[in-house]
Amino acid sequence: MSPTAATVDDPGQIKRALIDASAGAISGGISRTFTSPLDVIKIRFQVQLEPTTSWGMVRGNLSGASKYTGMVQATKDIFREEGFRGFWRGNVPALLMVMPYTSIQFTVLHKLKSFASGSTKTEDHIHLSPYLSFVSGALAGCAATLGSYPFDLLRTILASQGEPKVYPTMRSAFFDIIQSRGIRGLYNGLTPTLVEIVPYAGLQFGTYDMFKRWMMVRAEQYISYV
């Protein structure tokens, strides 16, 4: 059996991949659920056409008051109009997005770092150059985005609508997009998202490895002085 085949079929590597995927999915799901209210408020501000200040009305030559003008006011309005559940609108597709996203991201990241370092041991990955850490993170982020983007689109659509709702369920939004725009409609906005995720994920994991190396060196120096 060749070394490559042994590596692919190694039960330890399969176990590691399952651990990475499971840990990423669970942590992503928990963080997504806890931060959903903030995400809903953010999306409401992003999609409203009205200016949020009087100066914006003057510059934009627009009239009419904004529905949301501040975080506190938006929180009160959403709670009054939609109840407590309104802050978790779109959370199901958000979970369906973030759980595979984090699973794919950490699994692909480990595979790329293993390939780049020539070792499957996590402790050996810390010695990768900043360039390889950046590239590994960027590619892992792109793979995760491609694998979860339709759910991200559905999350944004559902979270952005107030009352009355255009789409009562994720299912209705999904089929409307398919019927009106086809499968490609589920990937609207993918290109700018990938352009954003490359530097974001690359810097996230690149700087993580860099500071981790720095902290390890400082810790070793401190121990040698003690």
Structure pTM? 0.68
Higher pLDDT, 50 or 117: 117
Confidence band for 64, pLDDT divided at 50, 70 and 90: low
CATH architecture of the domain with residue range 3-225: Alpha/alpha barrel (1.50)
Cis peptide before 150 (omega within 30 of 0): no
215: Cβ contacts below 8 Å, ≥ 6 apart: none
Domain ranges of the chain: 3-225
pLDDT tens track for 179-222: 999 999 999 989 999 999 999 999 988 898 888 888 877 777 77
User: Quick check: 20 and 107 in contact, CB under 8 A?
Assistant: yes
pLDDT > 90: what percent of the chain?
A: 19
pLDDT tens track for 138-148: 999 999 999 99
Q: Compute the average pLDDT of residues 100-113.
A: 88
Does pLDDT of 111 surpass 70?
yes
